[in-house]
């Protein structure tokens, strides 16, 4: 069996560091530690949160589309905890996401909370 020099196996899943890198790059985002959980917010509005073990993340997502997202891949997406069901929120297992999907979820969650002009200016780049 021949080995290819410089080849590395594709990475499976993303990490909390990937989440931080993507979220911190978004305008007006603040990172905060709230009750031992890392949260990303615009002002007082939280759009992204990591679980204490940093294996899952919760993110802003339209309530009316939540059931369809969860049904599309129940190993990857989970409903919010019962106390958060009234919010626009979904949870995802980081090890099941790839970088492209993570970026899309984080940016879409951010767009739900930031003023439209800010999102347009940032995404128009």
How confident is the model over 30-62, as pLDDT tens digits? 999 988 899 999 999 999 999 999 999 999 999
Q: What is the pTM of this model?
A: 0.87
* Residue among 75, 72, 79, 36 at smallest CA distance from 58: 79
> Cα–Cα distance between 96 and 80 in angstroms, integer?
17
Residue 44 sits at φ, ψ, to 5 deg, of -100, -5
pLDDT at 36: 87
Centre a 10 Å sphere on the Cβ of residue 110 and count the other Cβ atoms it contains. 27
Mean predicted lDDT score pLDDT of the chain = 91
Q: How confident is the model at residue 9 (pLDDT cuts 50, 70, 90)?
A: very low
Percent of the chain topping pLDDT 70: 90
Model pLDDT, residue 1: 46
| Cβ–Cβ under 8 Å, residues 35 and 96 | no
């Amino acid at each position: 069996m021949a080995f290819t020099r410089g080849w590395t196996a594709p990475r499976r899943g993303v990490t909390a560091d990937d989440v931080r890198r993507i979220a911190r790059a978004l305008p007006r985002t603040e990172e905060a530690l709230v009750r031992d959980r890392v949260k990303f917010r615009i002002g007082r509005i939280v759009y992204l949160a990591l679980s204490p073990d940093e294996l899952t993340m919760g993110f802003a997502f339209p309530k009316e589309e939540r059931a369809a997202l969860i049904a599309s891949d129940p190993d990857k997406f989970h409903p919010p905890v019962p106390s958060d069901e009234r919010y626009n929120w979904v949870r995802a297992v980081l090890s099941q996401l790839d970088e492209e999907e993570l970026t899309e979820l984080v940016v879409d969650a951010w767009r739900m909370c930031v003023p439209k002009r800010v999102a347009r200016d940032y995404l128009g780049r």
